[in-house]
Amino acid sequence: MRHIISTLVQNKPGVLAHVAGMFAARAFNIDSLAVGRTDDPTLSRMTIVVLGDDRVVEQVRKQLAKIIDVVKVQDFSPKDIIARDLMLISVSCCPEKRPEVFALAEMFDAKIVDIGQKFVMVEISGTEDRLETFVDMCRPYGIKNTVRTGTVAMARLNRPEKNEL
């Protein structure tokens, strides 16, 4: 099963290496890792996607919580969340095929960010499944390269029921 773990850590050198080292030492695999500063410059958020059963993920969560520089650990899997990936993809594309690739990008609410003589570079964000579908749709044209950020996620805020408004 796919689990998304959100970890708030101190924003200082060596923390990422320490966290990655914990995963390596215990033979846990990281499927995806995204790190960035929060609104507090002393803290960073690590969003880690781990594949495994509940027991494995519970061990990961406990081991992360033991690291001194880790402030908070949450397993987002049972929660209502918004999760997104960002991808840049270069698609082989002669000028005659550009309208097709442009239409495909428009269907996926993607953005054309660069055009060359024989390629089009597209920026797309969304769920992992949505990005995979876009990649599959681009395969017939030929894919030169892809770069992905990995998953970032945030728990939904509790919203009032309609009858509470």
What are 9-25's pLDDT values in tens digits?
999 999 999 999 998 88
Q: DSSP string of 83-107?
A: EEEEEEEEEE--GGGHHHHHHHHHH
- Report phi then psi at 13, rounded to 5: -60, 140
CATH class of 82-153: alpha beta
Average pLDDT, integer, range 96-101: 94
> Which CATH number applies to 2-79: 3.30.830.10, 3.40.605.10, 3.30.930.10, 3.30.70.260?
3.30.70.260
In the chain, % helix, strand, coil (3-state, to 5) comes to: 35, 40, 25
Dihedral angle sign, alpha carbons of residues 118, 123, 127, 128: positive
Q: Does residue 77 carry a pLDDT above 80?
A: no
Query: Domain ranges in the chain?
Result: 2-79, 82-153
Q: What is the pLDDT of residue 160?
A: 56
Cα torsion 104, 113, 126, 89: sign = positive
Given this chain, do its domains 2-79 and 82-153 carry the same CATH topology?
A: yes
